[in-house]
Amino acid sequence: MKRTSLYGLHLSLGAKMVEFAGYEMPVQYPDGVLKEHLHTRAKAGLFDVSHMGQAFLSTTRTAQGSDAAHADISDAIETLLPGEIRKLKKGGMRYSVLLNAEGGVMDDLMVTRPPHDADQGSLFLVVNAACKDADFAHIGKSLAGRASLKIAADRSLLALQGPRAASVLNAIVPGCASQTFMTMAPYDWNGVPLIVSRCGYTGEDGFEVSVPDAKAEELARAMLAHPDVAPIGLGARDSLRLEAGLCLYGHDMDTTTSPVEGNIAFALGKRRREEANFPGAKRILAELANGPRRLRVGLKPEGRAPAREGTDIVDENGAKIGVVTSGGFGPTLNGPVAMGYVDFSHSKTGTAVQLMVRGKPLPASVVDMPVVPHTYYRG
Amino acid sequence: MTVKYTKDHEWVRLDGAVATIGVSTHAAEQLGDVVFVELPAVGKTFKKGDDMAVVESVKAASDVYAPISGEVVEINQAIVDDPAKVNADPQGAAWFVKLKPSNAAEANELMDEAAYMAFADSH
C-alpha cells in the first residue's frame, strides 16, 4: 500500500490509519470524527490530501507564455470536459468533470489557469486519488500530439479548512488571505515553491496547498503549531462534504451519471452549451432541455436514524424512486443528512419521500443543498 | 454475577432471572462517537445471534446481536435520548436491554473477561 509524505506525522499524531484508494490514510485522530468535524467548522482543520493526483498539462503546439498558448491548451482540454476553460481569468480555477462519449462522468477535477504571463499555456489539474491513473492515461492519450502531461508525483497536497484558515495560513504564507475563492497563486516559502488555491471540500473557507514532498511535513507542522489548527481525518472530511452537498466521486457520481443528473449543471459553460462540442453533448443538452431521468438531491430524514449509502428511496405508495448515494450523521446539523438520486418527478424541494432503513420506511424530504451553508471567501 | 462477552463485542451480565446486555468498552472505542441507537420493543423475543439493536457512529452503522436467547423486559431509553452515553460508560450506565433468558446456560458458551480481553486485542 502507498503512503503519503505525511505518513510518519499521522502516526506521531495518533491517527487511526485505513486503506483509501490504495493509500494508508488517517481516518481519524484521537479526537474522533465528531470533534474533528466541529473543530473544522469552528476554527481550522488540516487535511492530508496528498493521495489526490496533481499534474501540469502544457501545450506542445505554441510556445509557453502567451494568451495564444492558453487558448491552445484550453481548446485541448475542452475536448474532454464541458467547462469554460478558455475564458478563465489568469489565476482562476474551475470545477469540472471528465466525460466519456456517453456524457457519463469519469471523474471530477479542478482545472487552474496559472496567474503569471510566463506560465500561460499550462493548466494545473487536481483529480481524485482513486481515478488518477485512469484520468492521466486518458488525458495523455486523448491529447497526444497537442499537449504534454507532467504528473507531479513529487508534490504533496495539504488542505487547511475553516473560518480561521485564512489568518493561520497568511501568517505562514503572507498574502494568501487576499486571494478570493477559486483562485490560485504561487508563493516562495523559504525557498520552497508552493501553489496555494483558495478552495476545498468542506463548504468552509480554506485553501489547498501543493508543496514538494520533501517540505510537506515541515509545512504541515508549521500549520499545526497554531493553536487553532487540528489534524482532521477522512471520516470528518466525508461528513463535512456531505453537509456541504459536495459529491464524492464513485458514490454520488460515476460513469453512468451525467452532470445534469448529478445536479452540477453549473459546470457546463454557457459557450460550451452553445458550441455543443464536449463528449456526450447530445445526451447532456437533451437532459438540460427536457429534464433528466433522475436527479441528485439532498435528503433530510425526519427522525434521528441515519440513512446510509445504498438505502432505497420510495414514494408514499412504497414504489422505489431512487437510492441514497451518501448518507450519515451531520455533526453541525446534529442530525442525519443524505444525498441520493430520485426520479426527476420526485426531485422538487419539499417532496416527501421515505427511506427504507433496515426494512422500515422512515419519512424524509427532498431539501436544497447544501444543508449547511457554504462560507467561501469571495472578497 | 460474572460478565460474559461475545465475539461481536456484546457483554451480558446474568443477575438472577435477568440478563443485562450492552456493548463492550472496546467496541465503543472502535465505533467512535455514537450518534444514534435503536433498541427493540419490550416484549420482543430473540434467539441467540439475532439482530437486536443498532448503534451508529458518524461514519457507520453496526448491529448489536443477542448474546443469548430471551424476551426483552426493559430497554435503556437514556441511550436513545443521548447516544453519547454509550461512549461515556458502555459497560455501566449505558446498558442496552434487559432480557429474561429462555436458556441461561447459553451464557456458558461465551468468553469470560480474560478471554475477551485477549480476543479484543487481536480484533
Q: Mean pLDDT over residues A111-125, rounded?
A: 98
At residue A237, what are phi and psi to the nearest 5 degrees?
-60, -40
Closest chain B C-alpha to A202 CA, distance in angstroms: 16
Contact A304, A275 (CB under 8 A): no
**Chain B contact for A34 (CB, 8 A cutoff):** yes
Which class is A293-379 in CATH? mainly beta
DSSP sequence for A65-88:
SSHHHHHHHHHHHTTT--S--TTP
Closest chain A C-alpha to B1 CA, distance in angstroms: 34
| Domain range list for chain B | 3-103
Using CA atoms, how far residue A273 sits from A5, A162, A266, B27, in Å, is 41, 35, 11, 53
Q: How many CB atoms lie within 10 A of CB B75?
A: 19
Helix (H, G, I), strand (E, B) or coil at A41: helix
What stretch(es) of chain A map to CATH 2.40.30.110? 293-379
Q: Locate cell 473557507: which residue?
A: A205
* B36 to A306: CB separation less than 8 angstroms, yes or no: yes
* A306 to B54: CB separation less than 8 angstroms, yes or no: no
pLDDT tier for residue A26 given thresholds of 50, 70 and 90: very high
A–B CB contacts, 8 A cutoff, strictly below: 45
* A305 to B32: CB separation less than 8 angstroms, yes or no: no
Share of chain A above pLDDT 70, in %: 100
Rounded Cα–Cα distance for residues B62 and B25 (Å): 15
* B57 to A37: CB separation less than 8 angstroms, yes or no: no
The pLDDT value recorded for residue B97 is 98
The pLDDT value recorded for residue A327 is 97
For A7-52+154-243, CATH gives 3.30.1360.120
Using CA atoms, how far residue B83 sits from A36, A300, A361, B56, B96, in Å, is 18, 20, 22, 9, 11
* B58 to A239: CB separation less than 8 angstroms, yes or no: yes
Using CA atoms, how far residue A202 sits from A34, A39, A166, B14, B65, in Å, is 14, 12, 15, 47, 36
* A33 to B57: CB separation less than 8 angstroms, yes or no: yes
Closest chain B C-alpha to A304 CA, distance in angstroms: 7
Q: Which of B36, B54, B58 sits opposite A331 (nearest CB)?
A: B58
Give the mutation candidate from A31, A33, A362 for the B interface (greatest B CB count, under 10 A): A33
Q: Mean pLDDT over residues A313-329, rounded?
A: 97
Rounded Cα–Cα distance for residues A58 and A72 (Å): 9
| Tens digits of residue pLDDT in A28-51 | 999 999 999 999 999 999 999 999
The pLDDT value recorded for residue A64 is 95
Q: Mean pLDDT over residues A175-191, rounded?
A: 98
The pLDDT value recorded for residue B1 is 60
Residue A356 pLDDT exceeds 90: yes
**Chain B contact for A114 (CB, 8 A cutoff):** no
Q: Enumerate the residues of chain A whose CB falls inside 8 A of the CB of residue B32.
A: 28, 32-34, 235
Closest chain A C-alpha to B36 CA, distance in angstroms: 6
> In terms of Cα–Cα distance, which of B103, B94, B118, B93 is closest to B5?
B118
Q: Enumerate the residues of chain A whose CB falls inside 8 A of the CB of residue B54.
A: 358
Q: Mean pLDDT over residues A197-215, rounded?
A: 98
Helix (H, G, I), strand (E, B) or coil at A212: strand
* A35 to B33: CB separation less than 8 angstroms, yes or no: yes
DSSP sequence for A277-321:
-STTHHHHHHHHHH--SEEEEEEEESSS----TT-EEE-TTS-EE
Rounded Cα–Cα distance for residues B107 and B109 (Å): 5
**Which chain B residue shows the shortest CA-CA distance from A332?**
B58
Q: Which of B38, B54, B59 sits opposite A328 (nearest CB)?
A: B59
Residue A70 pLDDT exceeds 80: yes
* A329 to B54: CB separation less than 8 angstroms, yes or no: no
What stretch(es) of chain A map to CATH 3.30.1360.120? 7-52+154-243
Check residue A7 and report its DSSP letter. Answer: H
Share of chain A above pLDDT 90, in %: 100
Q: Mean pLDDT over residues B30-47, rounded?
A: 96
The pLDDT value recorded for residue A107 is 98
The pLDDT value recorded for residue A101 is 98
Closest chain A C-alpha to B81 CA, distance in angstroms: 10
Q: Enumerate the residues of chain A whose CB falls inside 8 A of the CB of residue B38.
A: 305, 358
* B36 to A239: CB separation less than 8 angstroms, yes or no: no
* B35 to A358: CB separation less than 8 angstroms, yes or no: no
Architecture per CATH, domain B3-103, reads as Beta Barrel (2.40)
Helix (H, G, I), strand (E, B) or coil at A55: strand
pLDDT tier for residue A374 given thresholds of 50, 70 and 90: very high
Q: Mean pLDDT over residues B110-118, rounded?
A: 95
Helix (H, G, I), strand (E, B) or coil at B86: helix
Q: Name the pairing type of β-strands A44-48 and A229-231.
A: parallel
Q: Enumerate the residues of chain B whose CB falls inside 8 A of the CB of residue A239.
A: 58-59
Using CA atoms, how far residue B41 sits from A204, A326, B49, B77, B96, in Å, is 42, 29, 17, 11, 12
Rounded Cα–Cα distance for residues A338 and A324 (Å): 7
* A34 to B36: CB separation less than 8 angstroms, yes or no: no
Q: Enumerate the residues of chain B whose CB falls inside 8 A of the CB of residue A331.
A: 35, 58
Q: How many CB atoms lie within 10 A of CB A134?
A: 15
Residue B2 pLDDT exceeds 90: no
Q: Locate cell 480484533: which residue?
A: B123
Q: Mean pLDDT over residues A206-228, rounded?
A: 98
Q: Mean pLDDT over residues A266-294, rounded?
A: 98
| Tens digits of residue pLDDT in A154-170 | 999 999 999 999 999 99
Helix (H, G, I), strand (E, B) or coil at A161: strand
Interacting residues of A110 by C-beta distance below 8 A, sequence separation 6+: A93, A94, A95, A96, A125, A126, A197, A199
User: Of how many residues is chain A composed?
Assistant: 379
Residue A117 pLDDT exceeds 80: yes
> In terms of Cα–Cα distance, which of A224, A317, A209 is closest to A10?
A224
Q: Enumerate the residues of chain B whose CB falls inside 8 A of the CB of residue A37.
A: 58
Closest chain B C-alpha to A308 CA, distance in angstroms: 8
pLDDT tier for residue B59 given thresholds of 50, 70 and 90: confident
Contact A197, A207 (CB under 8 A): yes
